[in-house]
């Protein structure tokens, strides 16, 4: 549908300035009716959908491949899905929902930065509570040395040998 696409694109381009004026007029009418606050009109433009039916499955495959290959951002991919007709109300909210479940990417972020605060922010989690320090009780002068952990192999006490219960090569136990 190449010629039809270029014809529709040229017709929309010829009217683009008129649509901007129309939207500016609507804004000023709303300001005059005190529906919107008075002030400068915001820039607005009309975004057209596809004039031919869109294959949503193809758009989804393109988004998955493009985002997975790093060709475009998650924002662009979600916007493409929204324009293809997927029920996405707000792009930013959808991205937050996606990132709150993206544990593999969060693990890669943790490996790359070593910053747990950045990972919690990426996942949309609240700040972590500080772990309280536990005071250690100093060793008492009369405390036996066996309760202390050895610091070298020379200080460790060897274990006694364990009996296997065998009474020779021919059988088990006394005969």
Ranges 55-64, 127-136, 141-150: which has the least confidence = 141-150
Distance CA 62, CA 79 (A): 12
161 is written with which tokens? 């040998």
Q: For residue 145, give the DSSP letter.
A: G
The residue ranges of every structural domain in the chain are 10-48
| Contact call for residues 80 and 58 (beta carbons, < 8 A) | no
Alpha-carbon separation of residue 123 from 102, 109, 118 (angstroms): 7, 11, 9
pLDDT in tens, 55-80: 788 889 999 999 989 899 999 999 99
Predicted model pTM: 0.45
For the chain, give the mean pLDDT: 80
Tell me: pLDDT of 152 over 70: no
Give the CA angle between residues 162, 167, 170 to the nearest 5°: 135
pLDDT in tens, 89-120: 999 999 888 888 878 888 888 889 988 888 88
Burial class (CB in 10 A: 0-12, 13-18, 19+), 77: buried
């Amino acid at each position: 549908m190449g010629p039809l696409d270029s014809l529709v694109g040229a017709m929309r381009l010829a009217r683009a300035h008129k649509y901007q004026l129309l939207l500016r007029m609507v804004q000023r009418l709303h300001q005059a009716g005190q529906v919107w606050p008075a002030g400068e009109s915001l820039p607005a433009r009309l975004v057209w959908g596809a004039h031919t039916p869109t294959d949503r499955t193809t758009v989804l495959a393109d988004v998955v491949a493009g985002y997975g290959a790093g060709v475009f951002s998650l924002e662009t991919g979600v916007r493409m899905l929204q324009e293809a007709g997927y029920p996405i109300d707000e792009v930013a909210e959808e991205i937050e929902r996606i990132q709150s479940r993206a544990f593999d990417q969060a693990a890669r972020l943790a490996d790359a930065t070593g910053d747990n605060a950045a990972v919690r922010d990426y996942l949309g989690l609240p700040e972590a509570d500080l772990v309280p320090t536990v005071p250690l009780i100093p060793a008492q002068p009369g405390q036996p040395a066996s309760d202390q952990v050895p610091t070298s192999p020379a200080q460790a006490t060897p274990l006694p040998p364990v009996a296997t219960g065998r009474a020779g090569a021919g059988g088990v136990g006394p005969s």
